[in-house]
Amino acid sequence: MKFSQLAVRLAVTPFGAALDRWCVRFTGESPVSWVFARSEGVDYNPPILLTTRGRKTGRERTVVLPHFDADHVIPGAVAIVGSRGGMPTDPHWARNLRASPEARIWYQRREIPVDVHLLEGSARDPLWKTITERSPVYLAYQERASGHREIPVFVLVAKDGTRLEAPA
């Protein structure tokens, strides 16, 4: 088993996920994302924390996610991808955003409320191309998900006008 697979297995446990969230909040870095990037041969992308409200429970849910530049779609915005490794259904956080397109992110060591825009069809295509050029693993995930769903791409815009950026 590859080290990255072990890291992912740890990350999906309650303890591993909590530890990764803690690292992102207090150091700005994700050990799980770093191991995954190194093993896949892609550049490490410092993640954000995304907090949504559960569509059924109403409880806040926080996840660690990589983010991508979306400045060419909406100036000062970043994008996140609901890949779930190519599984047939969207991740819970993506379903939460579809139900309520508002969230908070932990970005550059501070919390920022954001408006969320789901890109679909031809509006999604240019950003999807940019994301998959940076992280080709998403092409494999889309292939796995084909026949079930189009992997959602969400654009996040800071409510307070903060310019959000991601590694190019």
pLDDT tens digits, residue range 102-121?
999 999 889 999 999 999 99
Residue 4, pLDDT above cutoff 70:
no
The whole-number average pLDDT for the span 26-31 is: 91
Domains of the chain: 45-158 (2.30.110.10)
* Residue in 49, 40, 152, 38 with CA at minimum distance from that of residue 107: 49
**What residues contact 103, with CB distance under 8 A and at least 6 apart?**
50, 51, 52, 53, 97, 113, 114, 116, 156
The whole-number average pLDDT for the span 22-49 is: 87
pLDDT tens digits, residue range 41-63?
778 888 999 999 999 999 999 99
How many CB atoms sit inside 10 A of residue 106's CB? 20
pLDDT tens digits, residue range 148-165?
999 999 999 999 999 999
pLDDT for the residue 6 = 74
Residue 2, pLDDT above cutoff 80:
no
